[in-house]
C-alpha cells in the first residue's frame, strides 16, 4: 500500500519534471535554418564546385592525373613559335593552348587533389554548392571553349552551361 | 438556439413560412454555425499543435504557407485532402467503412449542442446536459470500432479494439470526476453549472475546494485518454499499428477522422472549462474590473488554455503500455475519483 502511494508520487513528480523540460524548450531558440531564404556561411576553405581561371592555365594536365574519378578532360596543342609569349599571373610561361577544359561535376568526389597539384593555382574549389540541374550533362562545365575562338578569353568569363 | 430563432425573425415574411420550415430552420442554422466554428477552431488547433510541438522540439514548424508563420498550412492540407482519391479497400465492409468517419465525428459534434459558449449562445439547455455529453461523446467508440473492423486490416482492428478498451475504461473515472461538480450544483444542466460559478475566479469550482481541484486533474487525465491523445494514444500508436483504426482511410474520410480527433479535444476542453473553469464567466470579479471581454471569447480562451495543456503533455510524455494504461485507469484514477466524490458528498451534507 505504501509502495502504491510512493509510485503515485514518483509518477506525478516525473510528469511535472518532463513538462518542465518541455516548457524550457518551448522558449529556447529554434535551431532551424530557413534554408532558401537564410543560408549557412560556408567555411573559408570549403570544397564545392570547381573553378578554373583559364587565363592562368598552362595546360599541364597535372589535375587530370591527380583526379581519382577522371572527371577532368583536357585537350591542348602547342602554341606556334611566332605567337607572342604569354604568361600566367605567377609568371609561368604558357606554352600550350588549352582547347578543351571540361570538368564533369557529376563525377567529382570533392577530394580537392587537383587543386593541390595545379602549379599555377588556377584550379580552385569555390564555396558554391547550389548548382543542381535537371540534365546530368549540364553538370559538365566547359572552361576553355571561347579560348579557341579568341586565343585569350575575356577576364572572368566562364561559360556555365 | 433561442437567440438564433430570434435572429431569424428578421428575415422578411418569416412568419409566413410553413410551420415545419420555421421549426427546422433554427436547428439547421445552429448546426451550420457550430460546424463552421468547429472547423475553423480545428484548423487553428492543428496549426497550433504543429507550432507547439515544433517549438518544444526546438524547431520552427510550418513557416511558409500564408506568409505569417505558416498560418494557412492547415488550410492547404485540408484542401489537398479534399482533392485526394477516396480509396475503399477491396475486401472492406463498404457500408461500415464509409459510415465510420462520420459516426466518429458525430459523437464530438452532437455533444456541442449543450455546451454554453456564452450567456445566451448555446443551442439547447438540456436539463440532463452533462449526462447527454457523456452519452453522446462515447458514440465515437462505435465509429472507431466500425472503422477498425470494416477496414479488414489487422492493424486497424487492433487499433479499434484498443480504442474501445481504453475509452470505455476511462469513461468511468471521468464521469465520476464530473459528479464532484454536479453534487454542489445539484443540476445536470450545463447552464446551471456555469451560473453557479459566476462572479470571478474564486467562484470557479477549480478553486472552490481541494477535492474538486483533484477531480479536475482526474478528469483531465481521463479526458486525454478518451480523445486518444499521447500519452494515451495506443489506439493509433504509429510505431506499432501504422496509424491504428484509420490506417486504410484516405482523402476526405481521413480528414474527418482528423477533424473528429480535434473536435473531441475541443469537446473535452469545453466540458472541463464549463465544469471547472467557470465557462464563459469573467475571470476577475465584476466589482473590481468592468466586464469588457465578451463571454464567448473568454470561453474560447479558457478552452485554448486547456488545449495547450493537452499539447504540452503530449510532447513531454512517452506513450503508455497497455497494462500501464489499464493500471492507471482502474487502480489509480477510479479509486481516487471515488474517494473524491465521497468527500465532496460528505462536504455537501455536513458542511
pLDDT value at A21 more than 80: yes
Measuring CA to CA, which residue among B276, B171, B162 is closest to residue B221? B171
pLDDT value at A151 more than 70: no
Distance between B260 CA and the closest CA of chain A, angstroms: 26
* Residues of B with Cβ-Cβ distance to A15 under 8 angstroms: 313, 316-317
Q: Which of B24-28, B150-154, B215-219, B224-228 has the lowest mean pLDDT?
A: B24-28
Identity of the residue in B316, B331, B332 whose CB atom sits nearest the CB atom of A18: B316
Q: What is the maximum span of chain B, computed from C-alpha positions, in angstroms? A: 65
Q: Where are the beta strands (DSSP E) in chain A?
A: 50-52, 72-78, 96-104, 123-125, 140-142
Question: Quick check: helix, strand or coil at residue A103?
Answer: strand
| CA angle (B338 as vertex; B334, B341 as ends), nearest 5 | 135
Q: What was the pLDDT predicted at A95?
A: 83
Q: Count the residues in chain A.
A: 161
Query: What is the share, in percent, of chain A residues with pLDDT greater than 70?
Result: 89
Q: Count the residues in chain B.
A: 351
Q: How confident is the model at residue A13 (pLDDT cuts 50, 70, 90)?
A: very high
The residue-averaged pLDDT of B120-137 equals 83
Q: How confident is the model at residue B279 (pLDDT cuts 50, 70, 90)?
A: confident
- What order do you get walking across the sheet with A140-142 strand by strand? A72-78, A96-104, A140-142
Domain extents for chain A? 1-31, 50-150
The CATH number given to A50-150 is 3.30.70.3270
Domain extents for chain B? 1-83, 86-350
- Which residues pair with residue A73 across a beta bridge? A102
Given an 8 Å threshold on Cβ–Cβ distance, is B60 in contact with A34?
yes
- Please tell me if residue B60 touches chain A, with a CB cutoff of 8 Å: yes
- Exposure class string for B3-42: b at 16+ Cβ within 10 A, else e: ebbeeeeeeeeeeeeeeeeeeebbeeebbeebeeebeebb
The residue-averaged pLDDT of B216-222 equals 90
Rounded Cα distance between A102 and B151, Å, is: 58
* pLDDT tens by residue, A26-71: 888 888 888 888 888 888 888 888 888 888 888 888 888 899 998 8
The residue-averaged pLDDT of B171-198 equals 87
Given an 8 Å threshold on Cβ–Cβ distance, is B58 in contact with A18?
no
pLDDT value at A138 more than 50: yes
What mean pLDDT value characterizes chain A? 82
Rounded Cα distance between B261 and B91, Å, is: 26
| CA angle (B262 as vertex; B65, B128 as ends), nearest 5 | 150
- Please tell me if residue B39 touches chain A, with a CB cutoff of 8 Å: no
pLDDT value at B267 more than 80: yes
Q: How confident is the model at residue A154 (pLDDT cuts 50, 70, 90)?
A: very low
In the numeric block, which cell numbers belong to residue B11?
A: 428575415
The residue-averaged pLDDT of B256-271 equals 88
Q: What was the pLDDT predicted at A152?
A: 42
Q: Which residue has the higher pLDDT, B276 or B121?
A: B276
* Residues of A with Cβ-Cβ distance to B59 under 8 angstroms: 30-32
Query: What is the share, in percent, of chain B residues with pLDDT greater than 70?
Result: 99
What mean pLDDT value characterizes chain B? 84
Q: What is the pTM of this model?
A: 0.80
Question: Quick check: helix, strand or coil at residue B260?
Answer: helix
ipTM: 0.74
Helices then strands, counting H and E runs in chain A, come out as: 4, 5
Distance between B322 CA and the closest CA of chain A, angstroms: 17
Q: What was the pLDDT predicted at B1?
A: 64
- Please tell me if residue B339 touches chain A, with a CB cutoff of 8 Å: no
pLDDT value at B258 more than 70: yes
Amino acid at each position: 500500500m505504501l509502495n502504491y502511494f510512493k509510485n503515485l508520487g514518483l509518477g506525478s513528480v516525473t510528469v511535472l519534471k518532463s513538462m518542465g523540460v518541455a516548457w524550457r524548450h518551448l522558449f529556447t531558440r529554434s535551431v532551424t535554418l530557413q534554408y532558401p531564404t537564410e543560408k549557412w556561411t560556408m567555411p573559408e576553405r570549403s570544397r564545392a564546385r570547381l573553378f578554373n581561371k583559364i587565363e592562368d592555365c598552362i595546360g599541364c594536365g597535372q589535375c587530370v592525373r591527380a583526379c581519382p574519378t577522371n572527371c577532368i578532360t583536357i585537350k591542348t596543342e602547342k602554341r606556334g613559335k611566332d605567337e607572342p609569349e604569354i604568361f600566367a599571373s605567377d609568371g609561368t610561361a604558357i606554352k600550350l593552348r588549352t582547347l578543351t577544359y571540361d570538368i564533369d561535376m557529376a563525377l567529382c568526389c570533392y577530394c580537392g587533389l587537383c587543386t593541390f597539384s595545379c602549379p599555377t593555382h588556377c584550379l580552385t574549389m569555390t564555396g558554391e554548392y547550389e548548382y543542381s540541374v535537371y540534365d546530368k550533362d549540364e553538370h559538365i562545365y566547359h572552361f576553355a571553349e571561347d579560348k579557341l575562338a579568341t586565343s585569350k578569353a575575356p577576364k572572368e568569363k566562364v561559360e556555365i552551361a | 438556439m433561442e437567440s438564433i430563432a430570434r435572429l431569424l425573425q428578421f428575415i422578411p415574411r418569416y412568419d409566413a413560412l410553413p410551420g415545419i420550415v420555421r421549426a427546422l430552420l433554427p436547428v439547421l442554422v445552429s448546426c451550420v454555425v457550430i460546424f463552421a466554428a468547429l472547423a475553423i477552431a480545428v484548423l487553428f488547433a492543428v496549426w497550433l499543435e504543429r507550432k507547439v510541438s515544433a517549438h518544444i522540439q526546438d524547431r520552427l514548424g510550418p513557416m511558409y504557407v500564408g506568409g505569417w508563420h505558416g498560418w494557412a498550412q492547415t488550410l492547404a492540407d485540408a484542401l489537398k485532402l479534399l482533392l485526394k482519391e477516396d480509396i475503399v479497400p477491396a475486401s472492406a465492409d463498404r457500408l461500415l467503412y464509409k459510415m465510420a468517419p462520420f459516426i466518429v465525428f458525430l459523437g464530438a459534434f452532437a455533444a456541442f449542442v449543450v455546451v454554453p459558449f456564452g450567456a445566451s449562445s448555446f443551442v439547447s439547455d438540456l436539463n440532463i446536459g452533462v449526462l447527454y455529453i457523456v452519452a453522446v461523446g462515447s458514440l465515437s467508440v462505435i465509429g472507431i470500432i466500425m472503422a477498425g473492423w470494416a477496414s479488414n486490416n489487422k492493424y486497424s482492428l487492433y487499433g479499434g479494439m484498443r480504442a474501445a478498451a481504453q475509452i470505455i475504461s476511462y469513461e468511468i473515472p471521468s464521469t465520476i470526476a464530473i459528479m464532484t461538480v454536479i453534487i454542489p450544483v445539484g443540476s445536470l444542466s450545463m447552464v446551471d453549472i456555469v451560473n453557479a460559478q459566476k462572479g470571478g475566479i474564486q467562484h470557479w469550482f477549480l478553486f472552490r475546494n481541494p477535492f474538486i481541484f483533484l477531480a479536475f486533474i482526474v478528469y483531465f487525465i481521463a479526458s486525454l485518454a478518451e480523445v486518444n491523445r499521447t500519452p494515451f494514444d495506443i489506439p493509433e500508436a504509429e510505431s506499432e499499428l501504422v496509424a491504428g483504426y484509420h490506417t486504410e482511410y484516405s482523402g476526405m474520410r481521413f480528414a474527418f477522422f482528423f477533424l473528429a480527433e480535434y473536435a473531441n479535444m475541443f469537446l473535452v476542453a469545453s466540458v472541463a472549462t464549463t465544469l471547472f473553469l467557470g465557462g464563459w464567466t469573467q475571470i476577475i470579479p465584476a466589482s473590481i474590473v468592468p466586464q469588457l471581454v465578451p463571454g464567448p471569447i473568454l470561453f474560447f480562451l479558457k478552452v485554448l488554455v486547456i488545449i495547450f495543456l493537452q499539447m504540452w503533455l503530449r510532447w513531454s510524455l512517452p506513450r503508455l503500455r497497455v497494462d500501464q494504461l489499464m493500471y492507471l485507469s482502474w487502480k489509480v484514477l477510479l479509486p481516487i475519483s471515488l474517494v473524491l466524490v465521497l468527500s465532496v458528498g460528505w462536504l455537501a451534507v455536513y458542511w
